[in-house]
Chains A and B, each alone.
Chain A
Amino acid sequence: MTHTDIQSLLQSEFGASCVPETIENATPKGLVISAEKLQDVCLFLRDNEQTYFDSLSCVTAIDNGMEASTIEVNYNLYSIPYNFQLLLRAIVARNEDGAELPMIPTVSDVWKTAEWHEREAFDLVGIKFDGHPDLRRILLPTDWQGHPLRKDYSTQEYYHGMKVDY
């Protein structure tokens, strides 16, 4: 199966608007998924016997900066029996400074490994995962301000009375 086969499979299952385009300049090649359908698509890809993506290798959240004003989450799926890799990408609008964080449905009930990866994405890039069982910061202290992998991130001046930026 190629990624375009999977695209047509998903389009026939969930409608054409759910999988709008393929990603060609990526290795492994991938698909853009509309964020609302993410959970259903992942569950379908995991359980369908033609795809059987039983493991989630990597979750990467990327802040595209102020100009593009989007944030995307990349899911690297891997099917052990078929030895096939696929990239799924969900793109959401970026929030203004101080506004509510962007929201993406969680896939942690499809692959448990996503639970920690999503906590990390929340911690470092600032994305909320809808339905996540335990969304806390994982690497940084709970009272840290901001999300360091945002492009417009600037460190807070003091943390517990210590100067942060020297």
Chain B
Amino acid sequence: MSTVQYTYDPRHLEASEPTKYKPEDLTEEQMLINIGPQHPSTHGVLRFEVITDGEVVVDVVPHLGYLHRCFEKHAESMPFNQVIPYVDRLDYVGAMNNEHAYVMGVERMLGIENDIPKRTEYIRVLMAELNRLASHFVAIGTYGLDIGAVTPFLWMMRDREHILRMLEWVSGARMLYNYIWVGGLFYDLPVGFEERCKEFVTYLKPKLVETRDLLLNNKIYVERTANVGVLSRDLAINYGVTGPMLRASGLRFDLRRIDGYSVYPQLDFEIPVGEGTVGTVGDCWDRTWVRYRECEESVKIIEQCLEMLTKEHKRTRDYDPRAMVPKKIRPQAQDFYVRAENPKGELGFYFRADGRSDVPVRCKARSCCFSNLSVVPEISRGVLIADFIAIVGSVDFVLGEVDR
């Protein structure tokens, strides 16, 4: 095999990722600035082509595709159940949630979703909510970092580390778990997990209050984020924005309640919405506030799951998490669209099975971050460059899901 030969040619960049605006399109006062590719809040790679007039942003053109790893093409070449490790790579800070959404879709397509043991479902929800916490910690922490606050970032990363340790204990991997399988789980919870998790919840509750006092009520932080990047509710719906971003715009819309999948109907939790406490409804502060409130609700869900897992659906000798795992998946010829509430919004999967094989004809992932990112140019026209950074951070996208 020969080694890769590549000679640098400046024309290559111009041919592969040309800027939308050419120098002759700009007026004399305007300037083209590239922000990115590695902005701290993007957790990956993304380039914004920003047209500025002085300090004011005139237009923004996002350039995606630096991380493109062909999820959909790849999924067309292997059976449904073998895609799960790859699903983890979509939103790699919320991998359990991706798995939950995908597995739920396949199970519904096969018609076995009601046969899954309750203990399995509660473990799934517990894992998904733990991971939702971890994902929101990254969102809030790095957002603080964008604004210029380092301490909350360190605190949130410290607490996230506890969650990752527990998830590693469960699945054996730190970020990409492959734990939730079609029809069951990879393994039961390790012995002592419930107790450790309870201790963690007790530890976490005061830490959340600390974070709120330090970051969200901080005067500098409020000045930087309140009334910045206001996203109206109609615009959000029109752009397909979902998740905390849509709820911050004032719509009480959560698929965990609307679709009522898994065991969420049996659990008691609230859906926080943005109320414009310090600014306007749907501004950057509200988006982080909704994420913070969701952390509290997730803690509530985790407590209830632990209660169920230690009382009603206890670990028993004859409980086998893999009992329902099908040897071979044989879906009928059909199209299927299923969606779930991920930390960042609605993650949907569109499957098409041809009825002859267990390999999907088409497996499209409708990712939340993709739609959430598409609204950024709309809400950042006419703001200052510093505010633009605040807006980009408040969207909380993971590029693995944008590029897929």
Interface residues of A, Cβ cutoff 8 Å to B: 23, 25-28, 30, 54-58, 60, 62, 74, 76, 80, 83, 85, 87, 111-113, 115-116, 120, 124, 134, 136-144, 148-149, 160-163, 166
Contacts and interface: CB of A to CB of B under 8 A. Distances in A.
A138 B16 CA distance: 11
A142 B404 CA distance: 18
B332 A60 contact: no
Contact of B333 (A25, A87, A134): A25
A137 B7 CA distance: 25
A139 B68 contact: yes
Contacts of B334: 25-27
Given A58-B364, A139-B65, A149-B76, 16 more contacts: A27-B109, A54-B237, A55-B237, A56-B240, A57-B346, A58-B350, A60-B364, A76-B366, A83-B258, A85-B337, A87-B337, A112-B238, A116-B374, A142-B17, A149-B362, A163-B4
Contacts, number: 119
Given A55-B237, A112-B238, A25 B1 contact: no
Nearest to A63: B362
B167 to A, nearest CB: 29
B240 A55 contact: yes
A58 B364 CA distance: 9
Contact of A160 (B16, B70, B346, B352): B16
B17 A141 contact: yes
Contacts of A124: 72
A39 to B, nearest CB: 16
A40 B32 CA distance: 38
B383 to A, nearest CB: 19
A161 B6 contact: yes
Contacts of A113: 238-241, 371, 374
Interface residues of B, number: 53
A60 B362 contact: yes
Contacts of B235: 112
B337 A142 contact: no
Contacts of A134: 20
A62 B352 contact: yes
Nearest to A116: B374
Interface in B328-352: 332-339, 346, 348, 350, 352
B9 interface: yes
A111 B238 contact: yes
B240 A138 contact: no
B207 interface: no
B370 interface: yes
B18 interface: yes
Nearest to B18: A142
B211 to A, nearest CB: 32
B317 interface: no
B6 A148 contact: no
B327 to A, nearest CB: 24
A138 B364 contact: no
B254 to A, nearest CB: 12
A111 B403 contact: no
Give the top 10 A-B pairs by smallest Cβ distance, nearest first: A113-B240, A141-B16, A26-B335, A58-B366, A139-B65, A60-B364, A60-B350, A143-B15, A116-B374, A25-B334
Interface in B239-290: 239-241, 251, 253, 258
Contacts of A144: 16
Contacts of B346: 57
B186 to A, nearest CB: 27
A148 B70 contact: yes
A141 B339 contact: no
B240 A111 contact: yes
A76 B362 contact: no
B1 to A, nearest CB: 7
A91 to B, nearest CB: 13
A162 B6 contact: yes
19 contacts: A25-B335, A27-B338, A58-B366, A60-B366, A76-B337, A80-B251, A111-B239, A113-B241, A113-B374, A124-B72, A137-B65, A139-B64, A139-B403, A140-B68, A141-B65, A148-B73, A149-B72, A160-B6, A161-B6
A112 B379 CA distance: 13
B12 interface: yes
A161 to B, nearest CB: 6
B332 A25 contact: yes
B362 A62 contact: yes
A80 B68 contact: no
A49 B214 CA distance: 46
B222 interface: no
A94 to B, nearest CB: 15
Contacts of B324: none
A147 to B, nearest CB: 11
A155 to B, nearest CB: 11
Pick from B64, B240, B361, B370 the residue with the most CB of A within 10 Å: B240
